[in-house]
Structure 1
């Protein structure tokens, strides 16, 4: 298959075939029902009548088989019409975009011409990815249609197959985030619904997929995940009950603790979704680590002009997401207020709490997935807070999440701000350094940070003047900073340091200071964000000139 094949598919012929088959199916049903009616004529009870009825039944069964085949092929033609019409519409859009930017698109989906750099290269890659996704989808349609027609021709089609002729293909296993988005765009509506309902795991955690799709898919998984972890909990309880030493020589007791925690996490997430019906659960991962990982967005990141992503630190679990969502709500309201005051009333905002990694924690029986000797020599949150292994493991996931926001966005160039607190700032800093040539993040704020292995914006892939740090005078994180295990002390770097002290901000609001390690994003007693929270809001709004230094 190639793009020319897609363009030349005759949807009018498909429609005509579908109508013809529909008429034939109606005729077959009429004849079959007529035979049944004749067989029930009153008073026709002799041997000839019995022989005739047996013959009628045979003919009716043959007609039923033919009707089943016709119904399946008629349904296939209807599905193909919708799918091909969708592909052709998408192809027209791709070709229009290519022509508008002088891109020569080959029928096989390749881009002709010499290599280019910068935004032109990114646009060419988008066009190529979209074209290749359309070709792959067309090839899948042809394969599915051939399989259905073969079954119908051999008389093995069943009436229950109607409406199930075209199955949705799985997303590319090693595709780029751009390929993920184009995969979804290429699917017709019926196959999108099939993916969400039958294969939510394909898209729920896949960066580049629209956030509303990810949310629906992840919420759909709640019941299955609960059943999975209840089964695992019961299995572990049974093993411990039948082990005279309990969990002394096994990890069963630790694994049971985490299994029970996963069930509590599901309770917390379900409550979070109920409390924020406009929110979007963009990540749900109960399988990859000992702790549940999740991300929750307020506002629509696919259409937002301004997006913030907050990465938390030590002791943050799914149970903390409700508090983070409250902070994200307050931050979003302040950003929108500052935009309104500046006359940018049409700008939209999304604030996201991202817990897509495993921060160090002070709870739990220890890391059951590390060697026994490591567990008993004190590997835990304090050591982890001085080391960057957990941040290093989480950084590529966060970098992909940032890129996925950019790829899925319907806004040409959304303004993305990375907010990192405590140990999460280290994860954030490493993610920015892992962004690759297409750095999607525009600004970064590090607060209460122990370090992030960088000294200035150039280390983070940011433009000069777009990296900021904040630290309260009594924040105990400075104890960790003194060891330098995570890079230079953030307040001694070349990034601009913003104030966290009490201040009257340019909007005339008197704001309180932030004390200790956790108050930075939290509203104060009067309901207003503190100076630190205000500073984050104006940075996310793209107005750093209003920040308090």
Structure 2
């Protein structure tokens, strides 16, 4: 009876936190952007090379990479110029070609949210304008890097907030730049806002639908890095992004999986993630995420707290981080630890 009572209390508390924070407002409910890149129908109808192009919805990143490896430089350029949105977002395409394709797509965009992304010198590895917009940006020389990290953000992140000036270390760009600044030569960091995130703390944030869709995209993205010959990444996952990473964990091919401010990873413990990666967790005492019940009942909640000792993750010191978005702030113990993990020092 005691266990049943505790379960009911947890369900009630979960509902109260979600409803009390942002409500069950249907207006905040998001539809995940899934499937192949924009422009795929035109791509598949293109017979200019005299052969079929890889099906963006079916070809694996490894198959895509082999296809592009068999093209001449002029053929690659022709496809990039004819189909920049496909080439720029198709995992397995060589990264240099993706940078150029996304620069073309951004210059053609008339959405003011995307203006800063088109600035010269930015290395945009993915740009999908559908929905609220999805972006991935690289800091450092990804091609020559010995160590690669990927930062996966949580709620309220899209093409319009990727560059926001407020709460910088709660953005993928801010987290990635801070991590890159702390690493030495030979490292590169990718800010990956490549999935539809929840808006606010309503129903989407309390359930796993968007995380499941995001996990498919994240798994394919890291497979594309591998197909392009890049090192296995360290993946840093903030807030709802850790739910995405928990679902994707077994397919990421990561050396390390680091979660911070996590509401749960949809697993009871590290073994439940079914990954060979080392798993790390950080949570500071002032993070409001500690007030969210770490339960998973009737479709609500994301399960055990990865920062609890029973979960089995390695603990990252975070005593001097402040709030939910202070983990990558310069000078913090958590950032120093993240840097060591990214560079392989803590392995």
Interval of TM-score (by shorter of Structure 1 and Structure 2): 0.7 to 0.9
2:339 counterpart of 1:532: no
Q: Post-superposition shift, 1:167?
A: 5.9
Note the residue ranges of structure 2 that are not aligned, 5 or more in a row.
Answer: 1-46
Change (3 A) 1:171 1:303: farther
CA change 1:428–1:166 in 2 (3 A) is: closer
Deviation of residue 172 (structure 1)? 3.9
The answer to whether residue 225 in structure 2 is matched with residue 405 in structure 1 is yes
State the partner residue of 1:153: none
Paired residues of 2:139 and 2:190 also in contact (CA < 8 A): yes
Question: 2:322 aligns to what?
Answer: 515
- 1:298 aligned partner: 139
Uncovered stretches (5+) of structure 1, i.e. residues with no partner: 1-143, 145-164, 227-262, 337-346, 363-380, 502-512, 524-528
Residue 106 of structure 2 aligns with which residue? 222
- Cα offset, 1:489, TM superposition: 1.7
CA drift of 1:462 comes to: 3.0
Within the candidate set 214, 230, 237, 1:394 is matched to 214
Equivalent residue pairs, number: 287
Alignment of 1:102-181 (within 5 A): 170-173=53-56, 174-181=58-65
1:361 is aligned to 199
1:266 is aligned to 2:90? no
2:176 matched residue in structure 1: 328
Q: Equivalent residue of 1:539, what SS? A: helix
Measure how far apart 1:223 and its partner are: 4.2
Question: CA offsets per residue over residues 170-198 of structure 1, 9 Å max, x none?
Answer: 23442111011011110011101101112
* Whole-angstrom distance in 1 between the partners of 2:176 and 2:324: 18
Q: CA deviation at 1:285?
A: 0.9
- Partners of 1:309 and 1:418 within 8 A in 2: yes
Q: 2:316 aligns with which of 498, 501, 504?
A: 498
Where 2:100 maps in the other structure, the secondary structure is helix
SS of corresponding position for 1:327: helix
Distance 2:128 2:49 in 1: 29
> Could you say which structure has the higher helix fraction?
1
C-alpha distance after superposition, 1:121-180 (max 9, x if no partner) = xxxxxxxxxxxxxxxxxxxxxxx9xxxxxxxxxxxxxxxxxxxx9568523442111011
Flag the structure with more relative contact order, 1 or 2, with Cα contacts below 8 A and sequence separation at least 6.
2
Matched residues in 1 for 2:80 and 2:50: separation?
13
| Rg larger in structure | 1
User: For 1:386-421, what per-residue CA distance to the aligned partner results, in whole angstroms no more than 9, with x for missing partners?
Assistant: 111111111100011111111112x5xx14111000
1:371 matched residue in structure 2? none
Q: How far apart in 1 are the matches of 2:271 and 2:253?
A: 14
- So what's the TM-score if we normalise by structure 1? 0.50
- Aligned-pair CA distance for 1:479: 2.0
Give, in angstroms, the shift of residue 444 of structure 1. Answer: 0.6
Are residue 201 (structure 1) and residue 85 (structure 2) matched? yes
Give the TM-score taking structure 2 as reference length.
Answer: 0.77
Q: Distance in 2 between matches of 1:415 and 1:451?
A: 24
In 2, the alpha carbon distance for the partners of 1:422 and 1:166 equals 45
Output the aligned Cα RMSD: 2.1
For residue 11 of structure 2, what is the aligned residue in structure 1?
none
